[in-house]
Amino acid sequence: MTREKEFLELFNSLEQFLRVEYNQEQYGYSGFMATIYRIRKGNKNPLISNRYNFDIIQQASQIRNIIAHNNDVVLPTDAFMEKFTHLVEKITNPLRVENIMIPISKLKTVGLSNTVEEAVGLLKEFGFNTIPIIERGNLMGIFTEKSPFDFLSIHKNQTLEKTMKINDILEAVDLNSDPRHYYGFVERKLKIEDAYDLFNKDLKSRREMLLLLVTENGEPKEKLLGIVALRDIENALLA
């Protein structure tokens, strides 16, 4: 296969994917770059919104236009083809949360009978930000480094003893986690771009999405399979 044909097939695969994904298969749209600009403006795909990736796509569009009108003028270099191929693969075959989640088997957990001191000790020992609270196989809540402060903000006239059980502060660590943050349940097949949107939809809110909790179909009553933090998604998108 010639370099020209290889590039055009790669470009066409990207264009076809974007038409289906973002234009409901409407082929009478205004053009490839018009779709790219719309995706970027609406922050609908963090890969395309990234300035570096956007420049690669824009250059690819220019190369395609030149080849279409005069194929003796320019061909993409090996270096550009490598970058463009990698980007197209990430866009058209997106990772799912199951590919990047930390599985429950690799997480440290505590139960309702564990003490606050034990939970804090695990956070410090392993450098975690969160620890799932599992009781009889059920996810009861998430303990974080800020959970003691959340408890005190709810119960302003009480003191927090390190010997208190997790069950004693459950109101501050359950999955609703007022007043600070909350958690979202997602299906394991969710695309990481969609998971990224969940973290960013409430940027103007005082509350924040702390973690995504992964189950088979995104239902809270299902078995917890793993967790995904925003940094996990960002690392995957930048890889």
What is the spatial distance between Cα 16 and Cα 213, in angstroms, rounded to a whole number?
32
Is 53 in contact with 87 (CB distance < 8 Å)? Answer: yes
DSSP-assigned states of every residue in 115-145: BHHHHHHHHHHHT-SEEEEEETTEEEEEEET
Which CATH fold topology does 98-238 show?
CBS-domain (3.10.580)
pLDDT at 98 over 80: yes
pLDDT at 15: 93
143, two tokens: 């303990």
| pTM of the full structure | 0.76
For 113, residues 6+ apart whose C-beta sits below 8 A from its C-beta are: 165, 166, 167
Name the residue with tokens 């502060």.
Answer: 169
Tokens 């969940």 locate to 198
Q: What is the mean pLDDT of residues 37-63?
A: 92
The pLDDT of 63-87, averaged and rounded, is 88
Domain ranges of the chain: 3-93, 98-238
Residue pLDDT, tens place only, 104-143: 888 899 999 999 999 999 999 988 888 999 988 888 889 9
| pLDDT per position as a tens digit, 197-229 | 888 776 555 567 788 999 999 998 888 999 998
CB atoms within 10 A of CB 130: 21
More confident residue, 85 or 75: 85
Report the pLDDT value the prediction gives residue 155, as an integer from 0 to 100.
86
- Reported as a pLDDT band with limits 50, 70 and 90, residue 30 is low
Least confident of 38-47, 92-101, 159-168, 174-183: 174-183
Mean pLDDT across the chain: 87
Mean pLDDT of 33-40: 91
Tell me if 166 sits within 8 A of 115, measured CB to CB.
yes
List the one residue out of 156, 160, 201, 161 whose CA is nearest residue 182.
Answer: 201
Query: Taking Cα atoms as reference points, which of 190, 232, 193 lies closest to residue 214?
Result: 190
C-beta contacts of 159-164 below 8 A and 24+ residues apart? 160/116, 161/116, 162/115, 162/116, 162/117, 162/120, 163/115, 163/116, 163/117, 164/115, 164/116
- Alpha-carbon radius of gyration of the chain: 23
Query: What is the structure's pLDDT at 27?
Result: 47
pLDDT at 178 over 60: no
In 3D, which of 52, 39, 6 has the Cα closest to residue 29? 39
